[in-house]
Structure 1
Amino acid sequence: MLRYKRQQKLMGCSFELGVVTDDKVKAHRILDEGVKEIQRIEDLLSEFKGGSIITKINTKASELPVHLNSEVMELLKRCQQISKLSQGYFDITVGPLKKLYQFKNSEFTMPGKKDIQRAKNQVGYDKIHLDADTQSVRLEQENMHISMAAIGKGYAADKVKQIWKNHKLQGGYIDASGDLTAFGTDESGQAWKIGIANPDDRNQTLFHIPLNHASLATSGDYEQHFMCNGVRFSHNINPKTGLPVTGVKSVSIFSPSAELSDALATAVYAMGVDKGLSFLNQLPQTHGIIVDDQNKVFFTKQLQYEPIPA
């Protein structure tokens, strides 16, 4: 068996798609299928594309209901379910708060309390009103902004995996800039393994985790953060306070679903170490690794991992 790979920029990040098969022609056809599916989802969900349904929601849904196809309707329903499950720490409406901050890895002056409160008034997953009878969505407040950035890549990975599983491959994976979804085995017949990077040095691996029919998503501040009065603030926003998160450098979530792992990585990051671990330990088939701002590493119960020798 051989591994065939395709690297391409999709959904604003670097994707690597790989399949394990003994048929080269079949491999390239299947990789093409995967790329086309991710492109389709990007066209559907990108807030930066004028023709996407998300752009239409953001520009029109505060004035009148916007009709949805069943795919987007179901995805928005699941977003609200994850928001409720996480007690609001995952929220696709957090965009107005993010606009207050500049995550340039440099010094930055915090916005005032009034500006934060004004933006918080435009945030809230419970202000998204879905109507199953008319298959439509309405936004409660003007200037609300929905973003699928914290769940879209995971959703795309799940869709590609679903398509690929119909081809009876030995194995395959979708790697979205380190967020990995894998199934089956590699070309040697071994379980796929993922390395967890050091938040301060992405070239250094802290642990190896076997990935058996599972998905990993990592949320970290190594690429986007800012300093204020000597404190390091992450690009992740706590929707409850309106403030960027401190005290956590990275969160990695393992679950059977890439979509769920993607969303929970954002939620747990905002929760912080204690609340995040307690939350994850209550979820079935879901595990996590949290690295705090002192580089201390925390694991959920029963997580299997292999430390890298010093």
Structure 2
Amino acid sequence: MEQGVLQLTLAWDGKEIVSAEIVSTRPMLAGALRGLPVARVSEIIPRVFSLCRNAQDAAARLCVQAARGERAAVDDARDPTLAVAIEAIVEHLYHLLMVWPPLLQKPYRANRIQEFGAWRKRLQAVVDAAAAAALGVDLSNWLNELEAPPFADRVAAAAVALLPQLSAAEWAALIDHEDFATQPTFAGQAVETGVLARHAGEPGVALLLAGGQRVQARLAARLLELRWLTAGLVEPSRLSALVDATAIAVGCGLARVETARGTLLHRIEIAADCVERYRIIAPTEWNFHPQGAFVREMSGCPAQTRDDARIRATCLALSLDPCVPFEIRIVDA
């Protein structure tokens, strides 16, 4: 299945980006699951999602278990929490070492490519809690020397609110309409999910937010979360906050997984052991909502040239971290 793209169109008047518009060609996989045997869900979803694969797999398995009234044992060999955490750590390292330094064209850790490759290899080789703990100690020590790449920005427009951290049980009553998966809202408003929403209260991040530096705040929050997750490899109990599920009714379950990109929700309804309805609410649908963080922060953003407009849009989009490629088009306002 094609993953689709986000088409980001900027209206530019020669001085600033007047407005932004988003069109998503991302296919809605959840609808294609309807009528299939429930056993196929955990086979199909990890194959389709190339990014956040472990998180998607965990959400699928947990919502099915919840719908069936099954309880996964904490010490089950298939417990997904460690895999979800390691996947997020790799994503955060990739952004901080591989994506942002060349984008900003500033000197940053001469050996960053080799460092990323070495840590990714070690992380992906972890098979149990003991190996995770040993690696966590090494990575924590290394992270003491890592800083967030510097980025000078200042948001002109009022930003959207941040998505609060809710449990699966709290989410159960909030996914209340069919189009929630494509244009989700919280309290009737578009909101932002991800590292900034999870760490906005940290002093350094809060200071950046107060100064309107939201892209830099997201980079700082990403580094904070990377350190938090790495500490969780040594103390696994803290990672339990990443994943949970709840039974909504007989044959209906919902799972929540905190991914590197934000909150991921899966909701399933089962009838005769087949999928009657399935919904996936991914972080991209929150952050690239038609009235969401990207659109709001781009509107009124100063840009003296088309190249400047494109660079600013690219940086903002990457800080919001979509799970599909994006294309930027600039039109005259």
Q: Same fold (TM over 0.5)?
A: no
1 or 2, which has the higher helix percentage? 2
The bucket for the TM-score relative to the shorter chain is: under 0.3
Q: As a proportion of its length, which structure holds more strand?
A: 1
User: Which of structures 1 and 2 has the larger relative contact order (alpha carbons within 8 angstroms, sep 6+)?
Assistant: 2
